[in-house]
Amino acid sequence: MFRKLLFALLTLVLSSSLAACASPQTPTSPATEAAQEEMTAFRVAMVFPGAVNDKSWNQAGFTGLERIKNELGVETAYLEQVPSTDWEESLRTFASQGFSLVLGHGDQFSEPSKKVALEFPDTKFVVVNGAYTAPNLASIALFDEQVSFLAGVVAAKMSQSGKVGYIGGLEIPPVIRNGKGFEQGAKYVNPDILVSLTYLGDFNDAAKGKEAALAMAENGVDVIFYYVDNAMLGIQEAAKGSNVKLIGCIFDQYEMAPELILTSAIQDISTAIFEVAKTAKEGKFDGKAYLYGLDSGAIALAPFRENVPADVVEFVNQVQQDIISGKLTIERMSQ
């Protein structure tokens, strides 16, 4: 009996450490003693589904929150690693504490926010990539097609074979949108260009990325735009062996392969988060779907280096001007 109890206790300790991995939420950042006096001050809180140092989606959002704190000089707080059990409650925690703006970092907060926004009509809610809007609930998203359109323009200008390619990870809306924008951009330059679109079914499988890139190279594709995570390593490896140039994604990837990367389609959600908070602080918040395009700086092509000729750079800059000025409109894929 004693041995058994001991065993059970050991198991308990082990299993609770297992559970801790999968388990709850959250830290935060500073709330000071001044909190009470500042009930009327503009304060921003954010809820993250994952760890804020994940070098990916959550970290990008956290960067936005840090900018809000440092550049707007407002008090911020956050909860991280919030499990699905607490999505709704974590929003409510901040709303009930008088935070002026509460952000949920990801589509999973759409439904919880819709509910909580009704309970706290004086609090503004924002869901990143959210699906709903209400008088006090906005969604923010990047206008991915605009920057991938520019990537398509660069690709078509730089291609000598008249064949360009797009390699996406999973076939889900943001990835599809980037492919569509790329195709439109390439055809804008050269209506007869051949654009091949491929989805790996995986963001991180480098072997699959290499295979797809090699297949494209064999068919004569000489510029590839990709929208994947670690699978980019396979694509870069394949490009090295063939005469293929690449356009990166999300952040400026030039340093990863200076001889291959023409530019990158930067998509920086942290800027969008910062911008919406700024708008709210200025009292201009609207319960609508905010779409951050080339004019916001949240999306942009990375600076060109010497591997892109000056006339191409000039042409791309002109297209960008036309998009920003509204002379050239790009369709947003319906959700």
Partner 1 sequence: MENMPSSVFSPSPALLRARWLNSLQIILLPFGAVLAALIVGAILIALTGVNPFFAYQKMWEGIAKSNYQVGLVLVKATPLLIIGLGLGFVFNSGVFNIGAEGQLYMGALLGTAIAIQDLGVPAWLHVALSLLGGFVGGGLWGLLPGYLKARHNINEVITTILLNYIAIYIVSYFTHGPLRDNPLAEAALPQTPQVQLSSQLPLIWPPTRLHAGFPLGLGLALVLYLVTYRMAFGYKARAVGSSPAAAHYAGMNTTLIMVIVMVVSGGLAGVAGTVEILGVQHRLRDMFSPGLGYSAIAIALMGNNHPFGILLAALLFGALQVGANNMQALAGVPVTIVDVIQATVIFFVAVSAMIRWRASLPRLFRHKGEANG
For tokens 């409650």, name the residue.
89
The Cα–Cα gap between 265 and 174 comes to: 13
Give me the phi and psi of 138, to 5 degrees please.
Answer: -120, 160
Closest CA to 158 of 268, 326, 1, 301: 301
Q: Which one of the spans 88-96, 248-256, 260-268, 305-313 is the region binding partner 1 (CB under 8 A)?
A: 88-96
Give which of 74, 62, 66, 61 is closest to 130, Cα–Cα.
61
**Site for partner 1 (CB under 8 A): which residue of 60, 68, 79, 298?**
79
Site for partner 1 in 278-317 (CB under 8 A): none
Binds partner 1 by CB under 8 A, chosen from 56, 70, 96, 230: 96
Min. distance of Cβ 167 from partner 1 in angstroms?
20
Work out the number of other CB atoms within 10 angstroms of the CB of residue 279. 18
Q: How many residues does the chain have?
A: 335
Q: Is 219 in the site for partner 1 (CB under 8 A)?
A: no
Closest contact distance (angstroms) between CB of 48 and partner 1 is: 10
Q: Least distance from C-beta 44 to partner 1, angstroms?
A: 13
Question: What is the nearest approach in angstroms of partner 1 to the Cβ of residue 137?
Answer: 16
Query: According to CB under 8 A, which one of 58, 90, 178, 264 is a site residue for partner 1?
Result: 90
- Closer Cβ to partner 1, 14 or 207, answer by number: 14
Nearest approach, Cβ of 54 to partner 1 (angstroms)? 13
Q: Judged by CB, which is closer to partner 1: 64, or 106?
A: 106
**How far apart are CB 2 and partner 1 at their closest, in Å?**
8
CB atoms within 10 A of CB 147: 28
Nearer residue to partner 1 within complex by CB, 57 or 304: 57
Structure token pair of residue 215: 């297949």
Question: Is residue 265 a contact partner of residue 147, using CB atoms and an 8 Å limit?
Answer: yes
Evaluate whether 307 touches 254 at the Cβ level (below 8 Å): no
Beta carbon of residue 27, minimum distance to partner 1 (angstroms, whole number): 4
Q: What angle do CA 225, 226, 232 make, to 5 degrees?
A: 130
Contact 167, 212 (CB under 8 A): yes
The CB-of-160 to partner 1 minimum distance in angstroms stands at 38
Range in contact with partner 1 (rule: CB under 8 A) among 12-20, 231-239, 251-259, 281-289: 12-20
Residue ranges in 22-126 assigned as alpha helix (H): 57-72, 87-96, 110-119
Per-residue interface string for the shown chain with partner 1, residues 28-57, x marking contact by CB under 8 A:
xxxx-x-x---------x------------
Should residue 134 be labelled a site residue for partner 1 when binding is judged by CB under 8 A?
Answer: no
From the list 39, 47, 152, 153, the residue with the least C-alpha distance to 100 is 39
121 binds partner 1 (CB under 8 A): no
The Cα–Cα gap between 255 and 264 comes to 11
Alpha carbon of residue 313 to chain centroid: 25
Residues that bind partner 1 (CB under 8 A): 1, 4-9, 11-13, 15-20, 22-31, 33, 35, 45, 77-81, 83-86, 89-90, 93-94, 96-97, 107-108, 119, 129, 131, 172-174, 335
